[in-house]
Amino acid sequence: MKMKSVREIQLTPYNIAWEKEFTKEAATLTTTMSAQVLEVHHIGSTAVPGLSAKPIIDLLIEVKDIKKVDTYNQRMEQLGYEAKGENGIKGRRYFQKGGNERTHHVHIYEKGHPEINRHLWFRDYLRTHPDAAKEYETLKIELAQRYRFEPEKYVENKTNFIHKIDGLALKWRKGSSNKNRKDDLR
């Protein structure tokens, strides 16, 4: 019987190379799905300068028609991605690359899906509120030590903090004088 290997939670200090890796992968994915791609955003902890993170690049891709994304599954597999379907979020297509040594997560949503703003506002809030980013980093380090070989528990125990930041980010965006600006932070 084959044993399923367990992913180890390893956080590393922020690395400027993550932005370069995002740019490279975004270009590859834009070329791969060019007929559908509207925008590609760098999200997650690797998109927040100064924040320690699991060295996995999270990309959020806005597309014209989510149903047509499934036609790219074979091309994505050729790039090393595993298609995971909605993976628990209605209206999303999710891909991961690297097996247990994950390097990239791709979250694809049709333009206008509410998860797009949630992800971008969370990222932007942490980028502009260093105290919140530091609090998140401290929590992640503590959880990574406690749940080193239990990725599900690591994620589960971050949930309350993420919801808290989501709420603060929503209030911040609604009260921000630049809330209608085009997202130029990629």
- The CATH number assigned to the domain holding 90 equals 3.30.460.10
In a domain, 122, yes or no: yes
Residue 181 — pLDDT band, cuts 50, 70, 90? very low
The total of structural domains in the chain comes to 1
> Across-strand partners of 40?
61
* E runs forming strands in the chain: 37-43, 57-63, 81-83, 92-97, 104-110
Q: Is residue 6 part of a domain?
A: no
Determine, yes or no, domain membership for 11.
Answer: no
Q: Give the domain extent around 75.
A: 17-175
**Nearest C-alpha neighbor of 21 from the set 52, 46, 48:** 46
* 44 in a structural domain: yes
Residue 40 belongs to some domain of the structure: yes
Contact 58, 46 (CB under 8 A): yes
pLDDT of residue 184: 43
**pLDDT given at position 185:** 46
Does 57 score more than 60 pLDDT?
yes
